[in-house]
């Protein structure tokens, strides 16, 4: 006997929230909507289709995403051909949505966010992260590929300060992904395109106020912005996330590269003065597909590392990280070894260890 087909065929009877809620039940991290395909989910290294939902048309995708957009956002995506926005509902939680124009029309990539910032114990070496978060001034750089948890790590830093310290925190984000309610600290969050025009003007405004901590999420590594960031770090704690595939040395090299040759001596000296720590992180899935863990390289600036930065000998920093665990540092290899107790990680995670040394030598 032929079994009845319980798959949904009416493309107007479900909403984006329905898709996102179903994806959360399946422990997915990402949802992809593209014309000519069922909604696709990705979770901890595994892709699958939501085949109980119909194949989407371009009209379906426009209906689904337009229902959660403002009039301004609809105009912006028509003009710019891409847009990033946040969507928050009780049913589906918080979701970051990236819209882009494709050959087949509009496509959407949705990242399902945790309900709350994680604790340091959940994401990395707790003592090292606490030490970094309680610094009074200086620069902390958090880097990684897209969807590697950079914003989550920054949110954990903000949450720790907000819980334990009496400080004033200003965040400049694009977009705001975690909402922080002031507790011990005072937290003021600004979103590019909503409550702030751009990073540069927002940094200027923040520096005129009596603040202690400045957080810059999704930063573009451009000369004027980096200049303002470095100046701010002279007297404040500045935490910045940016996309970068490479450890401490490569993050520093990218900052050097936005300045002209005649400015190199100055920026090398200034960064050696203000840089306090770098984090390079990756999201690595477990073998059974049930979860992912954050692998972190952590570099804490010491007198020796500051001297290497000042002399532009960045290729030597990787070795220093591996040689000074007492300072709170760890390599990607150290991190993966700790996570992999019981051989839980997929084999591809170990390629990061193989790459780390050669990448450092190329800086």
Instruction: Render pLDDT for 33-83 as a digit per residue (tens, 0 to 9).
Output: 999 999 999 988 889 999 999 999 999 999 999 999 999 999 999 899 999
List pLDDT tens digits, range 156-174: 999 999 999 999 999 999 9
For residue 175, cis peptide bond before it (omega within 30 degrees of 0): yes
Mean of the per-residue pLDDT values for the chain? 91
Among 298, 351, 244, 342, which residue's Cα sits nearest to residue 123?
Answer: 298
Alpha helices in 27-166 (DSSP H): 58-66, 71-80, 120-123, 126-133, 150-164
Q: Under DSSP, is residue 129 helix (H, G, I), strand (E, B) or coil?
A: helix
Residues forming CATH 3.30.450.90 domain(s) in the chain: 16-112
Find out whether 146 and 242 touch, Cβ atoms under 8 Å. Answer: no
DSSP 8-state class, residue 261:
G
- Tell me yes or no: is domain 16-112 CATH 3.30.450.90: yes
Rounded CA separation 219/174 (Å): 8
List pLDDT tens digits, range 206-262: 999 999 999 999 998 899 999 999 999 999 999 999 999 889 999 999 999 999 999
Cβ contacts of residue 211 below 8 Å, gap of 6+?
168, 169, 170, 236
Instruction: Give yes or no for residue 341 having a pLDDT over 80.
Output: no
Rounded CA separation 68/111 (Å): 15
DSSP-assigned beta bridge partners for residue 186 = 168
Per-residue pLDDT, averaged over 265-286, amounts to 95
Among 183, 187, 231, which residue's Cα sits nearest to residue 213?
Answer: 187
Residue 282 phi, psi (nearest 5) = -140, 145
Helix or strand holding residue 98 (H, E) = strand 93-102
Structure confidence at residue 5 (pLDDT): 42
Structure confidence at residue 355 (pLDDT): 66
Instruction: Give yes or no for residue 3 having a pLDDT over 50.
Output: no
Residues forming CATH 3.40.50.300 domain(s) in the chain: 120-361
| Architecture of the domain spanning 120-361 | 3-Layer(aba) Sandwich (3.40)
Query: Comparing 8 with 107, which gets the higher pLDDT?
Result: 107
Structure confidence at residue 10 (pLDDT): 59
Find out whether 295 and 284 touch, Cβ atoms under 8 Å. Answer: yes
Among 254, 344, 306, 330, which residue's Cα sits nearest to residue 44?
Answer: 344
């Amino acid at each position: 006997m032929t079994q009845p087909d319980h798959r949904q065929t009416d493309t107007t009877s479900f909403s984006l929230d329905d898709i996102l809620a179903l994806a959360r039940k399946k422990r997915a991290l990402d949802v992809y909507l593209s014309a000519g395909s069922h909604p696709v989910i990705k979770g901890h290294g595994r892709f699958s289709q939501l085949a109980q939902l119909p194949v989407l048309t371009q009209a379906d995708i426009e209906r689904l995403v337009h229902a959660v957009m403002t009039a301004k956002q609809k105009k912006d995506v028509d003009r710019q051909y891409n847009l990033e926005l946040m969507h928050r509902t009780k049913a589906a939680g918080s979701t970051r949505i990236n819209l882009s124009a494709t050959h087949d029309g509009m496509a959407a990539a949705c990242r399902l966010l945790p309900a709350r910032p994680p604790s340091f114990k959940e994401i990395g070496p707790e003592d090292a992260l606490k030490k970094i978060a309680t610094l009074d001034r200086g620069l902390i750089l958090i880097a990684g590929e897209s969807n590697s948890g950079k914003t989550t790590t920054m949110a954990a830093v903000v949450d720790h300060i907000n819980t334990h310290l009496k400080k004033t925190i200003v965040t400049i984000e694009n977009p705001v992904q975690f909402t922080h309610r002031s507790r011990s600290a005072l937290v003021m969050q600004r979103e590019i395109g909503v409550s702030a025009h751009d990073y540069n003007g927002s940094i200027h405004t923040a520096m005129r106020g009596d603040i202690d901590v400045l957080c810059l999420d999704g930063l573009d590594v451009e000369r004027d912005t980096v200049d303002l960031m470095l100046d701010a770090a002279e007297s404040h704690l500045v935490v910045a996330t940016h996309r970068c595939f490479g450890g401490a040395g490569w993050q520093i090299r990218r900052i050097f590269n936005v300045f002209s040759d005649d400015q190199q001596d100055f920026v090398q000296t200034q960064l050696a003065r203000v840089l306090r720590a770098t984090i390079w992180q990756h999201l690595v899935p477990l073998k059974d597909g049930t979860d992912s863990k954050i692998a972190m390289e952590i570099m804490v600036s010491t007198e020796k590392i500051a001297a290497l930065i000042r002399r532009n000998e960045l290729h030597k920093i990787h070795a220093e990280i591996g040689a000074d665990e007492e300072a709170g540092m760890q390599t990607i290899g150290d991190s993966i070894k700790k996570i992999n107790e019981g051989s839980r990680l997929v084999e591809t995670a170990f390629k990061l260890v193989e790459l780390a040394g050669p990448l450092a030598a190329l800086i």
